[in-house]
Amino acid sequence: MNREDAYQLVCEYTQSESLRLHMLSVETAMRAYAEKLGEDVEKYGIVGLLHDFDYERWPDPPDHPLQGAAILAGLGYPDDVIYAIKSHADYLTDCPRTHLIDKVLYACDELSGFVTAVAKVRPGGIAGMQASSVRKKMKQKSFAAAIHREDILSGAADLEVELNDHIQFVIDALEKNGEALRLL
């Protein structure tokens, strides 16, 4: 299991540039959390990178993420990586988020998408963005309407982090990689 092979898998199954950028954003946030928490940075990064690689081909539940899980199993990915990816889907009730990596993925997934959406409408992109800007946009139901605000809230709660701190942490992580993520 290495990052290069994981990214090749993303590119093989995902044509959408915006979906690829989303997976790269989640990877970035996951790596930052792994470093902060003293966890395996490579494993966390690969989970973030691969969590939606099957979505473009199989967007309907439960195909996503079960089709991807089967592909990853066939390629010999570790069970805990596959489990973490499956656990980000609320409708898979047999995969509760019990491990730290599961909780970090869930906490970073929707929030990374929302932070990206906010950055796209700011003149300076993500540069200098504050959690208060994200919180303000979260109240605007029509903005990035497909992103589930409840998932952002419950993700922070499951991870047992204060929401504003969590938002700012993800902003800061994404800003460090802002050029590659096209957020600057």
Find the CATH number of the domain harbouring 31.
Answer: 1.10.3210
Residue-wise pLDDT tens digits, 26-66? 999 999 999 999 999 999 999 999 999 999 999 999 999 99
Residue-wise pLDDT tens digits, 79-133? 999 999 999 999 999 999 999 999 999 999 999 999 999 999 999 999 999 999 9
Flag whether 114 is in a domain. yes
Flag whether 48 is in a domain. yes
**Residue 76 confidence (pLDDT):** 97
Flag whether 109 is in a domain. yes
Query: Which residue has tokens 């932070």?
Result: 115
Flag whether 96 is in a domain. yes
- Domains in the chain: how many in total? 1
Going by C-beta distance under 8 Å and a sequence separation of 6 or more, which residues neighbour residue 39? 33, 100, 101
CB contact at 8 A, 131 and 84: no
Flag whether 183 is in a domain. no
**Residue 101 confidence (pLDDT):** 98
Residue-wise pLDDT tens digits, 125-181? 999 999 999 999 999 999 999 999 999 999 999 999 999 999 999 999 999 999 999
Flag whether 144 is in a domain. yes
Q: What is the pTM of this model?
A: 0.97
Domain that holds residue 72: 3-176
**pLDDT score of 1 more than 90:** no
Flag whether 181 is in a domain. no
Neighbour-count burial of 154, counting CB atoms closer than 10 A to its CB (0-12 exposed, 13-18 middle, 19+ buried): middle
Query: Which residue has tokens 């990596």?
Result: 101
DSSP code for 60: S
Flag whether 148 is in a domain. yes
DSSP string, 81-124: HHHHHHHT-TT-TTS---SHHHHHHHHHHHHHHHHHHHHHTSTT
